[in-house]
Amino acid sequence: MIPKKNQTVKETEFLNEAIPRMDSLYSFARRLTGNAADADDLLQDTYLKAFRFWDKYQKGTNISAWLFRIMKNSFINRYRKESKEPETIDFDEVQEFYTKAKDAVNNDDDLGKKIFSGLLDDDVTRALDSLSPDFKTVVILCDIEGYTYEEIAEFIDIPVGTVRSRLHRGRKMLQSKLFKYAKEKGYIK
C-alpha cells in the first residue's frame, strides 16, 4: 500500500500488519488480566513497544507470535508484579474431584453434565481467573482463541509438549473449580 500523505513507510507497514491482529491480542489481554482497565493498558504497552521496535521484526515471520511475545513480556514485567497473586488451586480439591469422578464412574455417567449444566458464565470466568498465568495462558489461547499447539508454543516460547501438559493440567484445575462451584450450588452431592 502506498503511504498516505504524512504517513511514513514504517507507519503504513505497522498499521497494515499489526492492527488486524489487535482483536485477538485484546481478547487475550482481557482474559489474562481479568479487567478492562488493565487490558487497555497492556494492549497499549504492547502496541507502542511493537511500533517502537518495528525494525526488529523480521518481515514474513509470524506477526501474531511476535506481538504475543511482546505482550507476555509486558505482562510479566508489569502486571504480574503489581497484581495480587491469583487464588491458588487447592490440590486436595483436584484430588477430591478425581476421587469423586472415579467413585461416580460406575453409577453416574452424567457427572460432567451435572457439573456443567447449572453453572453461570460468571462461574466459568471466576474459575479461569483462579488459574496461574502459565496455565491460564494456554487455556485461553487454545480453548477460547482457537490457536494450535504449535502456534501457542511459538507465541509463548515453550515446547509443544509443555503446551500439551499445561493444557491438561489447566483443564483439570478448571474442572475441580467448577466441580466445587457446582457442589456449593447443590447441582451435585
Partner 1 sequence: MNCKEFVELISSAVDERLEKETLKNFYQHTNVCKICRNVFELEKLTKNFIKTRIQSLQTPDYLKSRLISQIKSSDMSRSPIQLWRNWYFAIPAIAAIIIYLIISSPTSHHYHTCPNDNNIIHQAFNNFDAVIDGKIKPAFVTNNLSDLESFFKERVNYTVKIPKLRNCVLVGGTVSQFDEEKLSHVIFRHDDCIIYFSMADFRVVGGNKSLTLPQNAIDELINTGWYYADDHECCSVILCLKDGTLCIAAAEMKKNKLMAYLTDPELQW
Distance CA 92, CA 32 (A): 25
Does 57 help bind partner 1 (rule: CB under 8 A)? no
The candidate with the shortest Cα–Cα distance to 185, out of 134, 127, 118, 99, is: 118
Does residue 154 belong to the site contacting partner 1 (CB under 8 A)?
no
User: What is the smallest separation between the CB atom of 150 and partner 1, expressed in angstroms?
Assistant: 10
Q: Which stretch binds partner 1 (CB under 8 A): 11-19, 60-68, 75-83, 87-95?
A: 11-19
Q: Which residue has the cell 488451586?
A: 89
CA dist list (Å): 77 to 82, 84, 137, 159: 9, 14, 16, 22
C-alpha count within 13 angstroms, C-beta hemisphere, residue 83: 21
9, 52 contact by CB (below 8 A): no
What span, in angstroms and rounded, lies between the C-alpha atoms of 51 and 33? Answer: 22
| Dihedrals phi, psi of 122, to nearest 5 degrees | -60, -35
Which range of residues in 14-22, 60-68, 71-79, 82-90 is near partner 1 by CB under 8 A?
Answer: 14-22
Residues 61-120 that bind partner 1 (CB under 8 A): 98, 101-102, 104-106, 109, 111-113, 116
**Minimum Å distance from CB 143 to partner 1?**
4
Helix (H, G, I), strand (E, B) or coil at 150: helix
Stretch that binds partner 1, among 16-24, 59-67, 68-76, 78-86 (CB under 8 A): 16-24
Give the integer Cα–Cα distance in Å for 46 and 69: 9
Q: Does 33 bind partner 1 (CB under 8 A)?
A: no
Minimum gap (Å) between residue 142 Cβ and partner 1: 7
Number of chain residues interacting with partner 1 (CB under 8 A) = 54
DSSP assignment letter at 102: H
To partner 1, the closest distance from the beta carbon of 140 in angstroms equals 8
Name the site residues for partner 1 (rule: CB under 8 A).
7-8, 10-11, 14-15, 19, 22-24, 26-27, 30-31, 36-37, 40, 43-44, 47-48, 51-52, 98, 101-102, 104-106, 109, 111-113, 116, 121, 124-125, 128, 139, 142-146, 149, 164-165, 167-168, 171-172, 174-175, 178
